[in-house]
Amino acid sequence: MNPVRRSYPLLLALLLAGQQAGATGPAAEPAESRFSGAALCVAVLEREVKSGLHPDPTPQEREQWQRRLESAFAHIGNAYLSGLSGSEGKALLRSTETSVSHWPEKRLKPQAQSCHEQGQALLGQALGLQKMIVRSSAERLLNKELAKLSRTPAP
């Protein structure tokens, strides 16, 4: 199972603990259309990071990957705070990941940059506890993915 998806319920609970009550989007609008942008950003950022990972990153590479994953987690948290349920989110992300996996690099790169900028803006608006949760979740995921690479024998 994808580590980002496993973190949804915990991330949501912790984000909600620090979030003030706010309005959500229209309830009648299907989750797929309301949250497709967030799912797209998570899938694009995840693919971009995973495609660039290697076992011996420089500090600059680690920092870049960390920031990209923070942006993905910011999109996830924002979607859940706006009313996306766990099961809807998982299904939507799975579908979007399948679509994004076929994208050419020339389409992926500009979308990833746009999603990263949006995610950093969301993170900038987050409360202190929310920022801490997003950053630690991103770091934990990055460490886990890098550990997988170091255990995988080279071809």
Is the predicted pLDDT of residue 121 greater than 90, yes or no?
yes
Judge whether 72 and 45 are in contact, CB under 8 Å: yes
Band of residue 134 on the pLDDT scale cut at 50, 70, 90: very high
Asked if residue 101 is part of any domain, the answer here is yes
Band of residue 33 on the pLDDT scale cut at 50, 70, 90: confident
Structural domain span for residue 72: 31-151
What's the total number of domains in the chain?
1
Asked if residue 138 is part of any domain, the answer here is yes
pLDDT tens column, 35-86 = 999 999 999 999 999 999 999 999 999 999 999 999 999 999 999 889 998 8
Band of residue 155 on the pLDDT scale cut at 50, 70, 90: low
Q: What does the block give as tokens for 13? A: 């609970």
Q: What's 154's DSSP letter?
A: P
- Phi and psi at 126, nearest 5°, equal -75, 155
pTM: 0.78
At residue 11, the pLDDT reads 45
> What is the distance between the alpha carbons of residues 97 and 5, in angstroms, rounded to a whole number?
12
3-state secondary structure 60-119: HHHHHHHHHHHHHHHHHHHHHHCCCCHHHHHHHHHHHHHHHCCCCHHHHHHHHHHHHHHH
Asked if residue 69 is part of any domain, the answer here is yes
Band of residue 150 on the pLDDT scale cut at 50, 70, 90: confident
> What is the distance between the alpha carbons of residues 101 and 88, in angstroms, rounded to a whole number?
20
Asked if residue 9 is part of any domain, the answer here is no
Asked if residue 72 is part of any domain, the answer here is yes
Judge whether 96 and 39 are in contact, CB under 8 Å: yes
Asked if residue 26 is part of any domain, the answer here is no
